[in-house]
Amino acid sequence: MLVLRQYIVMNYLLRNLRIPVGEETGLELAISRKLGLPQNSFIIQQILRKALDTRRKAHPIWDYSLELSFPDCQPVSKDLSPYISEAWPELPTRRIASDPSIIGMGPAGLFAALALVERGFKPRIYDQGCSLDTRAKHVSNFWERGVLREESNVQFGEGGAGAFSDGKLTSRGNNPVVRRIYDLLVQFGADPAIKFEALPHCGTDGIRALVSRIRDYLISQGTEFRYEAKLRDLETEHGRLKRIKINDTWEDCSTLILALGNSSRDTFRMLAKRGLALESKDFAVGFRIEHPQSQINRAIYGNEKWAETLGAATYRLADGKVYSFCMCPGGEVIAASSSSGTVVTNGMSFSSRSGEYCNSAIVTSVGKEVFGSSLFAGMEFQELIERESFRQDFYAPAQRIEDFLKAKDTNTKLFASYRPGVESSDLSKIYPAEQTDLIKSSLQKFNAIVDDFSRNAVLIAPETRTSSPIRITRDKAKLCSISCEDVFPVGEGSGYAGGIISSAADAYKTASTFLIR
């Protein structure tokens, strides 16, 4: 029952505004009906979230959360609560006399640079890989001909690993820093709907366009981009940074932001040799599972016709320690190796998500009880799996999921989007028995959640780069390395984020504490 009380200036959060797909009558009318108020009695301040509920087959429903204001009344309803906006985090500022240097041109590096130029700095940003256009040619050559460039590939180069992904922009947080990241993405050309969609994405084509615009803007503000420029060493003295070695040249540097990718293994080893505190951390490993997209559309929507209205269907599955990750509707499984003699898989799709197949990672967490307690044990576990998965010409081991579950060989021809190609293999030999058994058990349970989940599905191995196996230990308040107060580890590779948005937010927050002396 709706009760009107004396007016108090306050905005409200409205949850559970549910509108069946195909019956959209406008948000104002839907809110009016839900609250029993005339449409001119409230103002929609912003859409906070728009999610698709597909639990009732063939009857999808949009579920909205909104921020509303009521100029002339204070309503009471079970689905209304005061809207409280989280404050910007309070962090100590740091005044520096010279422009900072940034290692890495992924989301963390680019958004650290954006925060710096807003504060009047002209940073230098380095990456061991190439510019985006040149890098794309290298990646294409790898996929088509198996010619890998170890410094410029899916993992390394301008745009980071996200430039060859689905461009998913999801984040578990909705704090002011995250909202600022979304605002900036929209400013550089992203669809404004990413600010409220439950599963926002840009596609790999959209991400690359954003990266190009951000780079052009940063250059216009005095940022120096240095490609094929690898951090090979650094020198500290009494806990202060003195200089860095880029390729074969030492350069003066008094403030360094480490926006590394999670594949920066030789850099992690170099940092450890130079005395920076690092620690190992848990991560997840598993497989890529690929289905015909039409099959998933039918299983999720109940009727494939909904794909014409809603686009390719997605899913998110979890069973204890096993879960799906980085689902790419209408996409392809890609070769993501960064070193010779290894195989790594990932998922990618374009903004249209119009491909014949869809894929997702099916992974389980591994920790010290699996890979050991030494600092680089997790990283070495990754490397071992990737080497043992290598097939000639970077072919990936693959198996029909039904054969994997029954422990039998796949003798029929495998159809998969992965390039250069796949080779029928026994995937139960890729990981330790405990992890393999966990994944098998969960895959069987997923059949009860998504109809015929195992049918027509192919597993492709290995999925090992879900997150960094290393964390560069930093001071919780100052955000600098506990070993060197002039070095600032940020983003996914440094162990403080997982994905495009969280990496960008972590770096932007850190760089926002810098002020010109």
Q: What is the pLDDT of residue 6?
A: 43
Q: Which fold has domain 3-82?
A: Alpha-Beta Plaits (3.30.70)
Output the pLDDT for position 7: 43
Instruction: Report CA-CA distances (Å) from 43 to 20, 33, 68, 84, 176.
Output: 22, 15, 6, 17, 22
Provide the pLDDT for residue 9: 55
| Phi, psi (degrees; rounded to nearest 5) at 70 | -125, 95
d(CA 214, CA 112): 12
**Of residues 402, 438, 199, the one with CA closest to residue 318:** 438
How is the chain split into domains, by residue range?
3-82, 94-279+470-516, 283-463
Place of tokens 């060859």: 164
Predicted local confidence at residue 54, as pLDDT: 95
Query: For helices 265-273 and 377-388, what crossing angle results, to 10°?
Result: 150
**What is the pLDDT, as a whole number, of residue 299?**
95
What does the alpha-carbon distance between residue 255 and residue 511 come to, in Å, rounded to a whole number? 11
Nearest Cα residue to 325 out of 304, 344, 346: 346
- Is the separation of the CB atoms in 308 and 330 below 8 Å? no
- Provide the sign of the torsion angle of the four alpha carbons 248, 249, 254, 255, taken in this order: negative
Quote the CA–CA distance of 135 and 337 in Å, as a whole number: 14
Query: CATH assignment of 94-279+470-516, given 3.50.50.60, 3.40.1190.10, 3.40.50.2000, 3.60.90.10?
Result: 3.50.50.60
* Cα dihedral 348, 349, 355, 360 sign: positive
Give me the pLDDT at residue 4, please: 43
DSSP class of 347: E
Per-residue pLDDT, 116: 98
- pTM surpassing 0.85? yes
- Whose CA is closest to 154, among 328, 339, 283, 326? 339
Q: For each of the chain's 517 residues, which pLDDT tens digit applies?
A: 444 444 445 799 999 999 999 887 889 999 999 999 999 999 999 999 999 999 998 899 999 999 999 998 878 899 999 999 889 999 999 999 999 999 999 999 999 999 999 999 999 999 999 999 999 999 999 999 999 999 999 999 999 999 999 999 988 667 899 999 999 999 999 999 999 999 999 999 999 999 999 999 999 999 999 999 999 999 999 999 999 999 999 999 999 999 999 999 999 999 999 999 999 999 999 999 999 999 999 999 998 899 999 999 999 999 999 999 999 999 999 999 999 999 999 999 999 999 999 999 999 999 999 999 999 999 999 999 999 999 999 999 999 999 999 999 988 889 999 999 999 999 999 999 999 999 999 999 999 999 989 999 999 999 999 999 999 999 999 999 999 999 999 999 999 999 999 999 999 999 999 999 8
Peptide bond into 420 cis (omega under 30): yes
